[in-house]
């Protein structure tokens, strides 16, 4: 048994060394053949699969292969959906692949959890209501649903703005792989049909709504 442990720790130290070598190369943007060889060795040694896919996405993106970078990044995202390194590489890969809405959502996660400003320079045509609503969910707090602490709006004069509001009488905007979609409604009993709908529409843009009611 002691020999098994000794082999395990030697393998672990070897894999750890490969990881930190890849990390150092990535920080220097050294995405060359040596990086690829180290990545292959890291995978073969049983390195963390999500980390390997992140490194692979970075390598592919640096070498102009946005489509396969997205594939690796999305695979890592399924394993580690709350990993900032995944959000970062996926945002850049999506942007390079022309998937601007998905890129914006990834930056919305970073804004939400770490207050990292959104840096994407996107044409106004990309900022559809559907895209802004997806960004609102990514940048919001789940425990306030259906109230939105920061429902996003865009205007050419002021750019992106966030205000507290509500999702109501509509489907919650989520990624396409999340099914079925949730529809936000209100239960009513022994009252006039439409009362809740009128109420929510009346207060949806009231300042401080989510903070005081949600």
pLDDT band at 69 (very low <50, low <70, confident <90, very high): very high
Domain boundaries, the chain: 1-122, 125-214
Give me the helix-helix angle, 49-62 and 84-96, nearest 10°: 30
The residue with tokens 């994407």 is: 120
| pTM given for the model | 0.81
- The mean per-residue pLDDT over the stretch 76-98 comes to 96
The contacts of residue 197 (CB under 8 Å, 6+ apart) are 168, 169, 186
Give 198 or 76, the one with higher predicted confidence.
76
Reported CATH class of domain 1-122: mainly alpha
Longest dimension (CA), the chain: 75
Q: Rounded distance, CA 23 to CA 38, Å? A: 11
The residue with tokens 């022994």 is: 190
Predicted pLDDT at 109:
93
**Strand 170-171 and strand 159-166: pairing?**
unpaired
Give 92 or 3, the one with higher predicted confidence.
92
């Amino acid at each position: 048994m002691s020999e098994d442990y000794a082999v395990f720790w030697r393998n672990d130290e070897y894999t750890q060394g490969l990881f930190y070598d890849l990390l150092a190369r990535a920080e220097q943007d050294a995405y060359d053949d040596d990086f690829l060889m180290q990545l292959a060795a890291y995978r073969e040694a049983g390195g963390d699969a999500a980390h390997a896919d992140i490194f692979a996405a970075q390598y592919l993106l640096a070498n102009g292969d946005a489509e396969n970078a997205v594939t690796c990044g999305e695979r890592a995202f399924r394993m580690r959906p709350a990993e900032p390194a995944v959000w970062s590489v996926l945002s850049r890969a999506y942007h390079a692949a022309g998937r601007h809405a998905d890129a914006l959502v990834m930056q919305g996660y970073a804004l939400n959890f770490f207050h990292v400003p959104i840096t994407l320079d996107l044409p106004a045509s990309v900022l559809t209501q559907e895209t802004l609503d997806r960004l609102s969910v990514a940048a919001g707090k789940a425990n306030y649903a259906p109230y939105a602490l920061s429902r996003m709006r865009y205007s050419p004069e002021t750019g992106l703005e966030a205000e507290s509001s509500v999702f109501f009488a509509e489907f919650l905007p989520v990624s396409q792989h999340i099914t079925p979609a949730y529809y936000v409604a209100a239960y009513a009993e022994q009252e006039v049909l439409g009362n809740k709908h009128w109420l929510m529409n009346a207060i949806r843009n009231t300042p401080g709504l989510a903070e005081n009611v949600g």
